Structure 1
């Protein structure tokens, strides 16, 4: 929002009264700003210009997708059939990414959550890499009779890659903003 330090001094061209007339002449008045004052940038202004809330919303949606895939796997597969189902990877990653997305969305109202968001998104990257490794082991020892589950695990692996990429971008932005805030 722009603001200005305005000089409210009224400058007018006074005209003399017309002789013999009772009508007062018009006065011309001009208001002129004497100096413009630049906007003060708020906390996290540069970061919020990059719209981290959009990436946070994508994290929430992909977390919900992972959580839904986990429910489908839990219902249709035996517990011992895959590591993906045994460790409930999609439930865990889905819930973690939903939390990370919500925290990233809250940065606009609560700038103090920057450090929390950085830690949560860093944790998301670590969990996503671990889950991707377990899914890869699962895919390497997969039996051909469960082709439908194979496709869903591949979908989950792609979603994990996407979520990891989102978290990496957010971590980069957050760490850059944190370093910018600490420097004098």
Structure 2
């Protein structure tokens, strides 16, 4: 929004025309801002300049991939074959990544969601760590006959690492914006 410090008083010539009561139309001057004053930027403006919606969209994609891997696990192997399938790690992570990504996308419409997004992204990181422990345990105890399931678990681990790294970057940005807003 433009701001200017301009004199808005009617000049003497125009005042005389108004007071004389002439039927002529007075001369009108239009004032324009001659100098643009920068608006004050807040911490949320700096955050939105970094485009958290892009990382949020990538989180949604990694959540969809994680859900897809969970469906593949559910269809191709028994529930007791791996910890990842037993605890439904892929489903829970996928849903949480999708929710965190959507909230990160909605920050443009409602900047008050910073604390909600920070909490969701911290939950994504915590759950991704637990899931990575389950998957590495599965990989350590894996039966060599199930080579295709091994590849799928490695892919799930990579998707988790990508999603957790996106969440870590967003957590850093959100905590920085939240800290400078309160400080």
- TM-score, L = length of structure 1: 0.82
User: What CA distance in whole angstroms lies between the structure 1 residues aligned with 2:60 and 2:91?
Assistant: 13
Once the two structures are superposed, the pairs formed by residues 33-182 of structure 1 within 5 Å of their partners are 33-41=33-41, 44-182=44-182
Q: Give the strand-richer structure, 1 or 2.
A: 1
What is the alpha-carbon distance in structure 2 between the residues aligned to residue 79 and residue 33 of structure 1?
A: 70
Cα distance, 1:41 vs structure 2:
2.9
User: 5+ residue gaps in structure 1?
Assistant: 11-28
| Alpha-carbon shift at residue 7 of structure 1 (Å) | 5.2
Compared with structure 1, are the counterparts of its residues 107 and 182 closer, same or farther at alpha carbon in structure 2 (3 Å cutoff)? Answer: same
SS state at 2:36 partner: strand
1:109-138, Cα deviation, whole Å (9 max, x unpaired): 111111111111001100000000000000
Instruction: Answer yes or no: is the 8 Å Cα contact 1:43–1:111 preserved in 2.
Output: no
- TM-score, normalised to structure 2, is 0.83
CA distance in 1: counterparts of 2:172 and 2:9, whole angstroms: 50
Q: Over residues 38-92 of structure 1, what are the superposed CA-to-partner deviations in whole Å (9 max), with x where a residue is unaligned?
A: 2243661000000001000000010001001100110110011111111111001
CA distance in 1, matches of 2:115, 2:179: 11
Number of aligned residue pairs: 166
Greater relative contact order: 1 or 2 (C-alpha under 8 angstroms, separation 6 or more)? 2
Q: Which deviations, in whole Å up to 9, do the C-alpha atoms of 1:139-171 show, x marking residues without a partner?
A: 000011100000000000001000010000000
Q: Of Structure 1 and Structure 2, which has the larger fraction of its residues in helix?
A: 2
Map of 2:20 onto structure 1: none
Shift of 1:4: 3.9
Identify the residue that residue 13 of structure 2 maps to in structure 1. Answer: none
How far apart, in 1, do the equivalents of 2:51 and 2:6 lie?
A: 33
